[in-house]
Chains A and B, each alone.
Chain A
């Protein structure tokens, strides 16, 4: 292959299969906001790298030819959701972007949009409810199961609005879940939530994912006929496609819990060492 054809193919790959102005605007908006806030608030390089990898990954799986493969191969679809629901939101949430994004927000928007929204009684309660670790964990697992019910999956792959709802839902829920895991404060509360509780939730969400992934991977018949109906584009058999897809639901998804747990234990450890330091009571109050 010559260099021009490689370039041509790369450009063709990067062009959206199904152009969505919403995804483009949301990603550009988040990027600009972050960049502005990062400069103003002076964020760290490491956290910026994680945030950007997460944001770019969401864009790539939704708005390049990756999405075409995701629509026509079960395992590519599982890979897409692994990025949307696990990897990218994990990276974004672990980079602690809240302060930076807030710093990037223009003052009028902060005052007239964000602050009233945060004061809204209903929103505050809904947010607090879905950020309750066990509830967030149940939604996190529930969504994976829901979209993999074969009849639901069938319609989701055929109907464009439903397909987009599925993908948006995965990304938003991923952000909410991993935000709950790594966010130090419970919404509306001044006290810190306990690390152990979040560790427990990370541990608990692993098993239903392992069970579902194993069930799909080891199934001896094609569970999702929609891919045969709409055409597989990769030259692999339906059962191989399904087995790889099941493995992707099983192993890396559960491993993200493990990695998340490591991060939590590390932060927990760091914090308790911090607290154990003999500091004068006045100083501790001031903090």
Chain B
């Protein structure tokens, strides 16, 4: 019994790879269509409004996890995403960047100011530890807090990936830290074309 099941289980990954292999040429990012669950969360946005994923349906969403006191990774990643979106010109409003801030202790107060510095397309999201952990678990990412320094500053370890969802909230791409702005723009253009046609 377990043997024949076992065989099927072995064939499954090959099958899945077959599916993803075909489409990989089309994108610069990793095609993760069907690999991860649809966009879903319950958080609070930077204006203090409770929001869910439903509020962003109809737009292509880029979800990135970080924190406002982050000195290098987050500003670089966010400005890259903002630049990639700006390049879309008049189609830029079809894209929303969701910045999930996972350090609510420090993020909550400053999130509003932080996001307005970037681009009007940026939405800052944060929530309770429970809410944030639920989103992180859903997308199999992790965040953890390191020990505070003497001045109270502490580093937050977080993921570097950007998850891209289509207007229906289906997961489509994973963009890693090394991605070039021009390539992100191209992927976004493709996605916009696909979802409008």
Contacts and interface: CB of A to CB of B under 8 A. Distances in A.
Interface of chain B, helix or strand or loop or mixed? mixed
A229 B176 contact: yes
B32 interface: yes
A257 B143 CA distance: 37
A169 interface: yes
Interface string B157-174: 111110000000000001
8 contacts: A68-B142, A126-B4, A127-B3, A146-B13, A158-B32, A169-B10, A228-B177, A233-B144
A229 B9 contact: no
Interface stretch (A49-57, A98-106, A149-157, A259-267): A149-157
Given A229-B176, A232-B142, A168 B1 contact: no
Interface residues of A, number: 37
A168 B35 CA distance: 19
Interface string B169-189: 000001011000000000000
Interface of A: 17-18, 68, 71-72, 117, 122-123, 126-127, 130, 146, 151-152, 154-162, 165-166, 168-169, 172-173, 225, 228-233, 235
A242 B153 CA distance: 28
Q: How large is the interface on B (under 10, 10 to 19, 20 to 34, 35 or more residues)?
A: 35 or more
Contact of B141 (A123, A173, A231): A231
Interface string B1-20: 11110110110110011001
Contacts of A157: 140
Nearest to B176: A229
Given A127-B3, A169-B6, 7 more contacts: A68-B142, A123-B3, A162-B16, A230-B139, A231-B136, A231-B141, A231-B157
Given A123-B4, A158-B140, A165-B9, A231 B176 contact: no
A232 B137 CA distance: 14
B30 interface: yes
Contacts of B3: 123, 126-127, 130
Contacts of A122: 4
A154 B4 contact: no
Contacts of A225: 176
Given A126-B3, A158-B36, A229 B142 contact: no
B193 interface: no
A22 to B, nearest CB: 12
A116 to B, nearest CB: 10
A161 B177 CA distance: 26
Contacts of B2: 172
Q: Which of A72, A126, A154, A231 has the most CB of B within 10 A?
A: A231
